[in-house]
Structure 1
Amino acid sequence: MSDPFRLWAFGDAHVGTDKAHGRESLAEAISQSERGGSEGGPPFEWDIAIDVGDMSGAHHGLPDDDEGRELRRQFDSLRDHRREDIYSVCGNHDRSGLDEPEAWWWQKWVDPLGQHTAFSGVDSAARRYPVSGAWQHYSFRVGNLLFLMLSDRNEPTQTVGRGTLGGNPGGVVTGETFRWWKHMVLSNPEAIIVTVHHYVLKNTTVASGEWEGVRKGPDGRWQEHYHRPFELGTPQGASYLYWVDSQPDSGAFERFLSEHPGRVALWIAGHTHTHPDDNYGGKTHIEQRWGTWFLNAASLSRYHMPITTLPVSRLLTFTPGSPDVRIQCYLHTSQYAAQGWYPKAERTVRLNNSFAGPTQETPTSTRPLDPVIG
């Protein structure tokens, strides 16, 4: 198959926040991709989309069914694609409260496994590339690309969590998820591994270093910038995956990648909203460490974090027989520059292996779940 594979990467739509300001962040981006934008941005082709999380805004509170229904309504703006062409992970603002069933809102209304079709509209049998796993970690394949989708969740050792901390901005995965991810990476040496999580790893892309998510004010106290400095919410790690297996600032993923350089080709994330030329901390939106390319694809929201938020997304084009991936930046408004492609932020990155074109799969039924490796 000679056709390129086009992956649209977006996140941080914060649907409830933008809706309160009269803007439909997700629906507008979908419409722009399929029909073009009202400010001159062109439409563009994409095969599947990756949503890196934070569909909820909820005015910085807990997501609820009203916002879920609004999310479903905006997903229904799809015309040239099916709902199942979008693959999602849970972000920190999609978490539910500590006294609620874990991630109930995200599982009900985003629902990558298609277990709540009446609410989410996701039919697992209609997936072009079927998923395998559990809500907190699942996989799917496109040719020799293996996507490992890791969701963010509440940190169980903290007594204050989602809601009070505005999302507890430090990223979290369980030990079970980390072990599953390691197993999948090590047992698929032939694959081009693409990891998707709401967060990048420490000291990879813009503002992902310790304390780089916030700023110190004239009074010497930490103040809001990219994120909010909730004292009990590990603000020092607000911009990166901070908790693994309940260990703070664990470095678990970083150590694994340093010991297996190049085994993971791409890490796609969001969380930190900013303009495409930002290089705070000496890091841009696209950087390579340990042989892995890290990409921050956020955000679709215009209003959620007003100091830094700018509606952008990325389009990755994989060409069969080539190790090169073209990464384009799309501006969804004209706040920063003309709506549409922003050539200054375009990059081409080279992977260790060439892409083998996807085999079109006929949607039939869900594949058996991958076993969890303890």
Structure 2
Amino acid sequence: MSRSLIWILVAAVSFELSASAEDQPQTFGVWATSCSHVPADIKRGRESLGDAIRQSEGEDGFQWDIMIDAGDLSASQFPPSDEDGEELQIQYRALKNHRREQIYNVPGNHDAPYYDRGPGSWFRKWGDPLGENTEFSGVDPKRRPFPVEGTWERYRFRAGNLLVLMLADRNDAPTPVGRGHSSEKMKGGYPPGAVTRETFEWWKKQVLENQDKLIITMHHHALRDTTTGSGNGEGHPRYHGASGGAAGSSYLYFIIENDDPENFQYTSDAHVFEDFLSEFHKKHGHGAIDFWIGGHTHMKGPTDNFGNKTITETKWGVHFLQAAALTKYHAGGNPMSRLLTFTEDSDKVLVRTWLHDTSFRKNPVGFFEPATRTLKLRHHFSTPPPIQTKEPFSAAVRVFERNAKARARNKKQTDN
């Protein structure tokens, strides 16, 4: 065969492959994670968050464009420390192909300080969705692929026609709703979930004003009677301790009517989200949102079914996903996360479950295919422009790294 003919064949094959690639519709991956509890696992030599990132970016990993994390970055039965925050940042350094700013997170119950230390103070410093503390969190708001609007407690961002509403758990409150005052030194995770009335009203307004968009809501907790173990009394003792009350330990239980500690008021088992979603569905015949994604309750594998509820359920026209947990050692469970793959101009989304170790019935690391679901969306998806992923970390991160090394040297000298 002549050299010119070979080149013609090579060119033809290359053109065909290129055309085939162009014919493939664009996709957008949303990686949903929760409950890395990094201090608990690193004490046993496991990087719960870092290992998960490396797996996702590895040769046998998966494509994701944004990670949304439902919190519980820390693990202590007492409020988290700066040491916990530093370990978190060390594990974020595993990122090679994504920016730190492609990760959007909310605080879980273990990420809360005592209320007199300032609402959300630890999370605002180390999780920092608004990029207020770049030196510590590594989040530069100018580098967000999809800018954040709102506050640390409740914020939104848009990716194409996908609107993501991120709601914080308010465990930084007086007991029994939250961890209390530092002088009380209360121990425990205080697992029942809580948001303020203002947060609920903000969420409802966002939902009603954006019915032309696909909507994901993420909170650390599931809603009542949606996914595994989220019924009243189902959380304790199978999944959670009883600090703060066992009844609502596995779902969003409290509405804080007034978060002023001097005039603190709350409603127990408020079910305001559930009522709104139910009434909307009855009135309109479809869901008010597309997804509610939570964590908090660590699954005993992807087939965990408790209270006749699984990790993927549809209720009131809304798909509910359980994403917990990345940890292996905090409160047990089998490390896993969820991947939602949206496709351009499609009204269906592929939802898959990734196992992060082999502890679940010796299944290999990777997707657990029996848990895969294809779910219907309220609208066709419109893909956002491609994300530029050069430089995983901003220049401000180097300031943190220098300070961390200095702190480590000082600690070593003190110990000696």
Mark yes or no: TM-score above 0.5: yes
* 8 Å CA contact retained: 1:321, 1:356: yes
Partner of 2:73: 55
Deviation at 1:286, TM superposition (A): 0.5
Q: 2:115–2:172: 8 Å Cα contact kept in structure 1?
A: no
SS at match of 1:182: helix
Aligned partner letter, 2:292: W
Change in CA separation of 1:160 and 1:48 when aligned onto 2, cut-off 3 Å: closer
Can you give the 5+ residue segments of structure 1 that lack an aligned partner in the other structure? 37-41, 215-223, 364-374
Name which structure has the greater RCO, CA cutoff 8 Å, separation 6+.
Answer: 1
| Contact 2:190–2:242, Cα closer than 8 Å, also in 1 | no
Cα distance between partner residues in 2 of 1:225 and 1:304: 14
Residue in 2 that maps onto 1:314: 338
What is the Cα deviation at residue 263 of structure 1?
A: 1.3
Per-residue deviation at 1:359? Answer: 3.2
Residue 74 of structure 1 pairs with residue 91 of structure 2: yes
Establish whether residue 150 from structure 1 lines up as the match of residue 173 from structure 2.
no
Contact 1:95/1:167 (CA < 8 Å) preserved in 2? Answer: no
Are the aligned partners of 1:129 and 1:361 in contact in 2 as well (CA < 8 Å)? no
Distance 1:293 1:276 in 2: 16
Bigger mean CA deviation after superposition, 146-155 or 160-169: 160-169
- Computed over aligned residues only, the root mean square deviation of the Cα atoms, in angstroms, reads 1.6
Label 1:99 to 1:317 Cα distance change in 2 as closer, same or farther (>3 A): same
- Where is the helix percentage greater, Structure 1 or Structure 2? 2
Match of 1:303 in 2: 329
* CA distance in structure 2 between the aligned counterparts of 1:317 and 1:362, rounded to whole angstroms: 19
> Which AA in structure 2 matches 1:93?
H
> How many residue pairs align between the two structures?
344
Within a 5 Å distance, the mapping from 1:47-196 to structure 2 comes to: 47-58=65-76, 60-154=77-171, 156=173, 158=175, 161-162=178-179, 164-196=186-218
Deviations 1:227-250 (CA, angstroms, capped at 9, x unpaired): 1122xx121100000011321100
Q: Does 1:272 align with 2:304?
A: no
* Letter of the 1:332 counterpart: H
Partner amino acid, structure 2, of 1:22 = G
Among 280, 283, 291, the alignment partner of 1:260 is 280
In 1, distance between residues paired with 2:220 and 2:207? 19
Alpha-carbon deviation of 1:99? 2.9
Matches within 5 A, 1:5-24: 5-24=28-47
Give the Cα–Cα distance (whole angstroms) in 2 for the partners of residues 342 and 138 of structure 1: 32
What letter is aligned with 1:78?
L
Structure 2: distance between partners of 1:192 and 1:251: 23
Match of 1:234 in 2: 245
**3-state SS of the aligned residue for 2:278?**
helix
User: 1:356, CA displacement in angstroms?
Assistant: 1.4
1:206–1:340 CA distance, 2 compared to 1 (3 A):
same
Q: Which residue of 2 aligns with 1:243?
A: 254
CA contact (8 A) 2:65 2:387 kept: no
Q: Which amino acid aligns with 2:186?
A: T
Which residues of structure 2 form unaligned runs of 5+?
1-23, 180-184, 257-265, 282-286, 390-416
Distance change >3 Å, CA 12–CA 282, structure 1 → 2: same
CA contact (8 A) 1:128 1:360 kept: no
Contact kept? 2:37, 2:327, Cα under 8 Å: yes
Residue type of the alignment partner of 1:144: N
How big is each residue's C-alpha offset from its partner over 1:224-279, in whole Å with a ceiling of 9 and x where there is no partner? 3211122xx12110000001132110010011101112111100110010110011
1:33-72 CA-to-partner distances (Å, cap 9, x unmatched) read 1125xxxxx21111111111101113x3220001101101
Residue 318 of structure 1 deviates from its aligned partner by 0.5
CA–CA distance in structure 2, aligned partners of residues 176 and 160 of structure 1 = 16
Pairing 1:225–2:238 present: yes
Give the greater-gyration-radius structure (CA): 2
The within-5 A match list for 1:346-357 is 346-357=372-383
1:298-331 CA-to-partner distances (Å, cap 9, x unmatched) read 100000002xx11101110001111111011110
TM-score, with structure 2 as normaliser: 0.80
Moved over 6 A (4+): none
Alpha-carbon displacement from aligned partner over 1:190-217 (angstroms, at most 9, x marks no partner): 1111101001100000000011012xxx
In 1, the alpha carbon distance for the partners of 2:133 and 2:96 equals 22
CA contact (8 A) 2:41 2:328 kept: yes
Bigger drift between 158-167 and 10-19 goes to 158-167
Provide the TM-score with structure 1 as the length reference. Answer: 0.89
